[in-house]
Amino acid sequence: MQNERERDMSQKPGFFEELKRRNVVRVGVVYLIAAWLLAQVADLMLESFHAPEWVIQAILVVFIIGFPLALIFAWAYELTPEGLKKEKDVDRSQSITHKTGHTLDRSIIAILVVALGYFVWQSQKGSESIVPSPAGETLTAAGEQLTLAPRAKSIAVLPFVNMSSDPEQEFFSDGISEEILNALAKVKELKVAGRTSSFAFKGKDQDLRQIGQTLGVEHILEGSVRKSGTKVRITAQLIQVEDGFHLWSETYDRELTDVFAIQDEIATAILEQLKAALIGGESEPIVVAAARTDSKVYDQYLLAKQRLYERKRLSIESAVELLDKAVAQDPNYAPAYAQRGIAALLLSDRSYGEMTHAKAEIQGKLYLDKALQLDQQLAEGWAGIGLYHGNRPGENAQAIEALEKALAINPNLIDASNWLQIAYGAIGDNRRAMAILEDMVSRDPLYPPGFANAINAYNLFGMQEKSWALLDRIRPFLPGDPQILQSEANTWLSLGKPAKALPLLESAMEVQASDAVLKNLMGAGLLQTGQFERVIEVGHPWHKAIALSILDRQEEAMMIATQLAGEGLVGLLITQLDRAGQFEKLIEFVESRWPDLAAFESEYPDDGSGYADMLHIARAYSRTGNEARFNDAMARVRAAHDRSLAQAVADPFFLAEEARYYALAGDRERAIELLGLAVDKGMFFPVKFAEFWPEMEVFTGDPHFETIQARMLEHANSERAELGLEPIST
C-alpha cells in the first residue's frame, strides 16, 4: 500500500510541469504581448484625441491588474469541446490542453508579427517627421534635439588685435577677421562660429578654453596687426581648444600700400593654411576679395555693422549716421547701401525704432535697390530684400527666395538665417524655423535675435527647459542685456507667470522703450493681470485695442484696429468686428478685398499658433447663415491646426484656438476639454472667457466650464496678488 502511494506520488507532475501542461505560461506570454500592443495603439489614439494623461495611465493600471488574474484563470479553468470548465472537473484522459497550447503558440506568433509591423511603422513614421537642420543635426517629432557627435572640424575666428598706436588701423585688423570668416563659411567641411559671438570677445582677456566651450568649437584662430611707418606685420595662430596647443602660426610682413590687397592676400594665405591643418587633402582654392573703398569708409561700415547687430534703437540710429557718412564719401560702395537699407527697416515702429512702417519700407527699399544695382552678387543686399518682403503681407515666398539666395552667396550671414526662419514661421512651418534657429544658436550663440527667437520657438513647443538651459549658457556673457531680460520674461509668460515676467520687461524697456517685441510682451503681461489702463499707456496697439474694448471704449478700440488695417495688419479689425457682433461689416470688409478665402489665406496664412483670423471669419459666416463659406473657413482652420498638431505645437493659446474651433463646430465636450488643457498649461485672462471669445457664451452654466473659468480667474488673482494688486471680482 505504501509502495503504491509512493508510485502515485512519483507519477504526479510537479508544479512547473503543471503550469506548462495547463498553458499558464503561454497565456501569460500572449497577455503581455497583446497588452503591450493594445497600450501602444491606445496611446496613439488618445494622443490624437488630446486625452488627459490619466486616461492612458488608467488603462495601464487595468492591464497590470489583469495579468495575475489571467494567470489564475488559466490555472483554474480549461477550454474543452463542451466549453469552459473548471480544471478539477476535467478528466485528464479527455484533456485537450496540448491542442490549446498549439493554438496559443500560433496566437503568439501572429501577435508578434502584428507588433513587429507596428514597430516598423512607428519607426518609419518617426523618421519621416524628422526635419533636417542646416547644421546637420535633426529634430525629433517632439522637437527634442538628438544627441549627435560634434563636428570634428570647427573653428572660431577672434577679431585680430590692433597692436598699432594708430587706432584708425582698427578697421584693418577687423577687416582681416571679417574676410577670413566669410571665406571659411564657404568651406562646407567646417563649422564656423558666427561673427557676433566671436567679436563679443574683442578686447576681453578670457580663457580660450572657455571661449571654445561657449562657442562650441574645437579650434580658435587669433592674431594681431602692428603697423609701423609704411610696414605692417600680421601674426596669426591656430590653437586647439582642449589643450591650448598651437597647431600652426605664421607672421606676414608687408608694405602698406593697398590695404585691401594686403587684406585679401593675407586672408587667402591664412585660409589655405587653416584648410591644410584642419581638413587636409585636396580642395578647391578660395579667393578672398573684399569690395574696395576708402579705408575710412570701410571703417565706418564695419562699426555700423557691429552696431546693427546690437538691435537697440540708439545703436541702429548711430549706425545710420556712420553709413550716411560712408555713402556720402563713396557713392559706389554697395555694402554700405545694403546696411543702410537694413537699418531703415529695423527702425520701423514695428521693430526697434519709431519711424512709421510705411516710411521705413520706402526708405529701406531705395537703399537696397541701389546696393543690388551696384553689385548683383551682394549677399547683404539680398538679405535686406528678404527682410523687406518678410514684413509685407503675402510676400513670404519672395522673402524666402531672396534670403536663400543671400545664404547661397554667404552662408555665414547670420541676419539672413534669422529672417529666413521668421519667414518660414510666418507660413506655419515652425519645425523648419526651429531647425534654422538651432543651427544659428549652435554657430552664433551670442547673436541676440538668434537666441531670443530660439527661446520663443522652444516656448511655442512647450520646451521651456531648453529655454532655461540656453539662457544659463549665454547670460554670463551678456549680463543685464535687454534681450536676455526679454527672453526670460517671454519664458515666464509662456508658463503663465506674468508676475515674474513684468519686472524683467520693465528693466528691459528702460534701455529700449521703442522695441516692438518688448511692447508686445509688456502688453500681454499687463493684459493678463488686468492692468488695462497701463496697457493703453505702454502696450502694443493690439493689446491697447483689447484693453479699450474691455473697458467698453469701443470706438477708440475700433479706431486703432482700422488704422492698423490700413497699414496691412487686418487681424485686429477682424477680431474687433467679430467681438462687436458686426458680422455683416466683417464679411463686407473681407469680400471687398479678397475674391475668396483662398486669396485671404494666401496673403494672411496661419503662423502655426492658431488660425484666429479665419475663426473670426467663420463665426461671421455662421451668424449670417452662409453655410458654404462657413464650412470653407472651418476646413481651412482645421487644415492649419492639423499642421500645427503634426509639428507638436504645445502653446496653451494654440489649445485655446482649438477650443474655439470645436465650439464653432458644435463639439461642446471637446471645446470645454481643450479650454481646460489650455488653462492647465498657464493660459488665463482676468475676465470671463466670453469677453475674449463670444462663442464661449453658449457654455455658460455648464458645471465643467464654470469650474475651468473659476480656476482661470483664481490664477489671474494669484498673479495680481504677487504684484501687490487687489483681486478682480467678475
Nearest to 454 by CA among 417, 411, 497: 417
What is residue 166's three-state secondary structure? coil
Nearest to 700 by CA among 663, 652, 650: 663
Name the grid cell of 118.
Answer: 507596428
Name the grid cell of 707.
Answer: 469650474
Q: Within this chain, do residues 537 and 649 fall inside the same structural domain, yes or no?
A: yes
- The whole-number pLDDT of residue 711 equals 95
Q: Is residue 674 part of a domain?
A: yes
Q: Within this chain, do residues 163 and 124 fall inside the same structural domain, yes or no?
A: no
Mean pLDDT, residues 622-627 taken together = 97
Given a cut of 70, is residue 366 above it in pLDDT? yes
Name the grid cell of 171.
Answer: 578697421
- The whole-number pLDDT of residue 226 equals 86
CA atoms within 13 A on the CB side of 510: 8
State the alpha helices, DSSP H only, in 129-258: 170-184, 195-199, 208-215
229-282 pLDDT per residue, tens? 778 888 888 888 888 888 888 888 888 776 677 777 777 777 777 777 776 655
Given a cut of 60, is residue 376 above it in pLDDT? yes
Instruction: Lowest mean pLDDT of 60-64, 180-184, 365-369, 661-665, name the range.
Output: 60-64
Which carries the bigger pLDDT value, residue 332 or residue 130? Answer: 332
Contact 597, 636 (CB under 8 A): yes
Contact 241, 193 (CB under 8 A): no
Last residue of a domain, one of 477, 495, 518: 477
Mean pLDDT, residues 413-422 taken together = 94
Instruction: Lowest mean pLDDT of 35-49, 293-307, 409-423, 713-727, name the range.
Output: 35-49
Nearest to 296 by CA among 316, 274, 323: 323
Which carries the bigger pLDDT value, residue 483 or residue 48? Answer: 483
Distance CA 377, CA 507 (A): 42
User: Could you tell me the CA-to-CA distances from 320 to 167, 386, 485, 643 in Å, in that order?
Assistant: 22, 20, 26, 41
CATH number at residue 591: 1.25.40
Distance CA 453, CA 682 (A): 21
Which carries the bigger pLDDT value, residue 86 or residue 192? Answer: 192
Given a cut of 60, is residue 51 above it in pLDDT? no
Calculate what percentage of the chain has a pLDDT beyond 70: 80
Mean pLDDT, residues 71-93 taken together = 67
* Look-up of cell digits 593697398: 258
- The whole-number pLDDT of residue 104 equals 61
* Look-up of cell digits 519711424: 355
CATH number at residue 453: 1.25.40.10
Mean pLDDT, residues 316-322 taken together = 95
Q: Is residue 485 part of a domain?
A: no
Distance CA 356, CA 39 (A): 57
* Look-up of cell digits 494623461: 53
Domain extent for 674: 533-722
Q: Is 550 left (phi over 0), alpha (psi -120 to 50) or beta?
A: alpha
- The whole-number pLDDT of residue 113 equals 61
Q: Is residue 306 part of a domain?
A: yes
What pTM was computed for the model?
Answer: 0.72
Which carries the bigger pLDDT value, residue 148 or residue 237? Answer: 237
Given a cut of 90, is residue 10 above it in pLDDT? no
Given a cut of 80, is residue 730 above it in pLDDT? no
Q: Within this chain, do residues 299 and 264 fall inside the same structural domain, yes or no?
A: no
Instruction: Lowest mean pLDDT of 88-97, 307-316, 541-550, name the range.
Output: 88-97
- The whole-number pLDDT of residue 5 equals 44
Phi, then psi, of 77 in degrees rounded to 5: -125, 155
Last residue of a domain, one of 214, 249, 278: 278
Long-range CB contacts for residues 119-122, cutoff 8 Å, separation at least 24? 122/40
Q: pLDDT band for position 9 (50/70/90)?
A: very low
Contact 329, 295 (CB under 8 A): no
Q: Within this chain, do residues 409 and 545 fall inside the same structural domain, yes or no?
A: no
Q: Is residue 163 part of a domain?
A: yes
Q: pLDDT band for position 479 (50/70/90)?
A: confident
Q: Within this chain, do residues 343 and 374 fall inside the same structural domain, yes or no?
A: yes
Q: Within this chain, do residues 246 and 97 fall inside the same structural domain, yes or no?
A: no
Name the grid cell of 157.
Answer: 575666428
Which carries the bigger pLDDT value, residue 471 or residue 6? Answer: 471
CATH number at residue 239: 3.40.50.10610
Contact 215, 268 (CB under 8 A): no
Q: Within this chain, do residues 711 and 684 fall inside the same structural domain, yes or no?
A: yes
Q: Within this chain, do residues 366 and 414 fall inside the same structural domain, yes or no?
A: yes
What is residue 216's three-state secondary structure? coil
Contact 709, 688 (CB under 8 A): yes
586-604 pLDDT per residue, tens? 999 999 999 999 999 999 9
Mean pLDDT, residues 427-456 taken together = 92
Q: Which residues contact 410 (CB under 8 A, 6 or more apart)?
A: 182, 185, 186, 379, 380, 416
Angle at 274 between CA 273 and CA 277, to 5 degrees: 85
157-189 pLDDT per residue, tens? 898 888 887 776 777 788 778 878 877 777 777
Distance CA 6, CA 569 (A): 96
Q: pLDDT band for position 291 (50/70/90)?
A: low
Q: Within this chain, do residues 419 and 537 fall inside the same structural domain, yes or no?
A: no
Distance CA 433, CA 396 (A): 13
Q: Within this chain, do residues 349 and 464 fall inside the same structural domain, yes or no?
A: yes
Given a cut of 70, is residue 398 above it in pLDDT? yes
- The whole-number pLDDT of residue 278 equals 72
Contact 286, 186 (CB under 8 A): yes
3-state secondary structure 394-449: CCHHHHHHHHHHHHHHCCCCHHHHHHHHHHHHHCCCHHHHHHHHHHHHHHCCCCHH
Which carries the bigger pLDDT value, residue 393 or residue 384? Answer: 384
Q: Is residue 235 part of a domain?
A: yes
Total count of domains within the chain: 4
Residue-by-residue DSSP string for 299-325 = HHHHHHHHHHHT--HHHHHHHHHHHHH
| Start-to-end Cα distance in the chain | 91
- Cβ neighbours around 587 below 10 Å, total: 18
Q: pLDDT band for position 496 (50/70/90)?
A: very high
Q: Is residue 526 part of a domain?
A: no
- The whole-number pLDDT of residue 43 equals 64
- The whole-number pLDDT of residue 71 equals 72
Q: Within this chain, do residues 466 and 560 fall inside the same structural domain, yes or no?
A: no
Mean pLDDT, residues 314-322 taken together = 94
Looking at every residue in the chain, the average pLDDT score rounds to: 83
Radius of gyration of the chain (CA): 33
Q: Is residue 492 part of a domain?
A: no
Q: Is residue 491 part of a domain?
A: no
Given a cut of 70, is residue 721 above it in pLDDT? yes
User: Could you tell me the CA-to-CA distances from 227 to 235, 266, 288, 301, 408 in Å, in that order?
Assistant: 12, 15, 22, 21, 36
* Look-up of cell digits 540710429: 317
Instruction: Lowest mean pLDDT of 19-23, 384-388, 469-473, 568-572, name the range.
Output: 19-23
Instruction: Lowest mean pLDDT of 204-218, 270-284, 356-370, name the range.
Output: 270-284
Mean pLDDT, residues 473-481 taken together = 87
Q: Within this chain, do residues 251 and 303 fall inside the same structural domain, yes or no?
A: no
554-587 pLDDT per residue, tens? 999 999 999 999 989 999 999 999 999 999 999 9
- The whole-number pLDDT of residue 148 equals 32
- The whole-number pLDDT of residue 100 equals 66
Handedness of CA 618, 700, 650, 115 (dihedral sign): negative
Q: pLDDT band for position 139 (50/70/90)?
A: very low
- The whole-number pLDDT of residue 114 equals 64
Q: pLDDT band for position 146 (50/70/90)?
A: very low
What is residue 132's three-state secondary structure? strand
- The whole-number pLDDT of residue 91 equals 62
501-531 pLDDT per residue, tens? 999 999 999 888 778 888 899 999 999 999 9
Last residue of a domain, one of 72, 93, 128: 128
Strands (E), 123-264: 131-132, 138-139, 154-157, 161-162, 191-192, 219-228, 231-240, 246-255
